[in-house]
Amino acid sequence: MLITQPYNPRSMSLFRECASLFVIGFPGTVPDREVLQLIDEGVGGVILFKRNVESAAQVAQLVRSLKAHAARPLLASIDQEGGRVARLRGAPFTSLPPMRQLGLTGDAALVERAGRLLALEVRALGFDVDFAPVLDVDTNPANPVIGDRSFHRDPAEVARLGVALARGLEAGGVGSCAKHFPGHGDTSQDSHLQLPSLPHALERLRRVELLPFAAYAKAGLASVMTAHVIFDALDPGVPATMSTPVMDGLLRKELGFQGVVVSDDLEMKAISEHFSVERAVVDGVIAGVDCFLVCHHPGVQRRAIGALVAAVESGRVSRARLDEAKARMAALARRFVHGPEDLLGTLGTPAHAALAQGLSLDTFVGRDPTEV
């Protein structure tokens, strides 16, 4: 059901400002009324999933139509990591191996070329940001959600190779997003389903989990995604997404990260079964999150935006904090967000084939990891 409510000119203007900090998902392979209305009302971007994908041509047309409807910069994003997290599959896309397989090569130039390949393929369909690389360190063999999405169990290798992939993406004109800060690799629970916590001391976090994100921040790359994980040494009982000591104290002040901070999806059970979306947004923006993913339900998306509007109107969220988040989103848009384009013809070209050479999953299947 389409949910609407009246706004006077002042509150509608504020609604648009707050909506610009949200990236939303929607069902189906064509835009529905709800997503188009939220775009009309100022939402900052969209994220596509497998449910939105039928073919390369269909996705390219879908993204073009959304951007044309917006008639302003609209951020189009996707999770295209390689391995098991790839929304775009089958010809003409390259089936990349898991990042663990690329990591075992130790070849930063190869990994950077994989980033350029990802950029070419997602840009061809109109995407501006790819939520990659994973900078979680693969320290827990029982981790149900990270595992082979991580480059390595050595944090220095994750840092070196993760930055290489991100640089490749950004050299190809697509914003990167390092995830999941400050580290999801050692959990034994999946934050899509539960609220994980880690008891590690801050010294251990600096030595292992934080090292790749420190390298990413130093490299001046585009964005970082939060983890819906509690770090007891930093803020007991509070997920990193909603934590000022984690987001402002650790990421901004200690690591010096200047780019956009993006929340993981607020409809994941780590948040939705423990906190209201209203609290998650307000606490999150106060903590330092600049952009919120709300990936499924228009009613939840409207509640989330409305909570931020109310918090700004009441003074709980300062105008300065709202303006800071808007400025970071605007800077990201200037660097990476493109209007409607027709780049589908770049797929299958000799340049595309050259980037893909030696990077397909078939190249790695059956190889002994110690020989890679």
How confident is the model at residue 313, as a pLDDT?
96
CA-wise closest residue to 114 among 350, 346, 358: 358
Q: Is the pLDDT of residue 14 over 60?
A: yes
Residues of the chain above pLDDT 90, percent: 81
Residue 192 annotated in active site: yes
Residue 107 annotated in active site: no
What average pLDDT does the segment 330-338 reach?
A: 97
How confident is the model at residue 7, as a pLDDT?
38
Statement: 29-351 belongs to CATH 3.20.20.300: yes
Phi–psi pair at 266, nearest 5 degrees: -75, -5
pLDDT in tens, 335-371: 999 999 999 999 999 999 999 999 988 787 656 554 4
How confident is the model at residue 146, as a pLDDT?
85
> How far apart, in whole angstroms, are the C-alpha atoms of residue 126 and residue 131?
14
Q: Is the pLDDT of residue 194 over 90?
A: no
How confident is the model at residue 364, as a pLDDT?
79
Q: How confident is the model at residue 10 (pLDDT cuts 50, 70, 90)?
A: low
Give yes or no for a contact between 54 and 28, defined as CB atoms under 8 angstroms apart.
Answer: no
Q: Where are the domains of the chain?
A: 29-351
Give yes or no for a contact between 200 and 209, defined as CB atoms under 8 angstroms apart.
Answer: yes
pLDDT in tens, 220-231: 999 999 999 998
Q: List all residues 6 or more positions away from 298 whose beta carbon is below 8 Å from its beta carbon.
A: 2, 3, 24, 26, 34, 35, 38
How confident is the model at residue 276, as a pLDDT?
94
Alpha helix (H) residue ranges in 149-256: 155-171, 202-207, 210-218, 244
Specify the 3-state DSSP secondary structure of 60: helix
Specify the 3-state DSSP secondary structure of 264: coil
Q: How confident is the model at residue 266 (pLDDT cuts 50, 70, 90)?
A: very high
Q: Which of 79, 264, 283, 290 is catalytic?
A: 264
Q: Which of 69, 192, 200, 352 is catalytic?
A: 192
Q: Is the pLDDT of residue 193 over 80?
A: no
Q: Is the pLDDT of residue 189 over 60?
A: no
As a whole number, the mean pLDDT across the chain is 92
Q: Is 223 left (phi over 0), alpha (psi -120 to 50) or beta?
A: beta
Specify the 3-state DSSP secondary structure of 327: helix
From 126-140, 179-193, 234-248, 349-363, the region with the lowest mean pLDDT: 179-193
How confident is the model at residue 220, as a pLDDT?
98
How confident is the model at residue 360, as a pLDDT?
86
What average pLDDT does the segment 61-69 reach?
A: 97
Q: Is the pLDDT of residue 244 over 50?
A: yes
More confident residue, 331 or 233: 331
How confident is the model at residue 157, as a pLDDT?
97
Give yes or no for a contact between 247 and 239, defined as CB atoms under 8 angstroms apart.
Answer: no
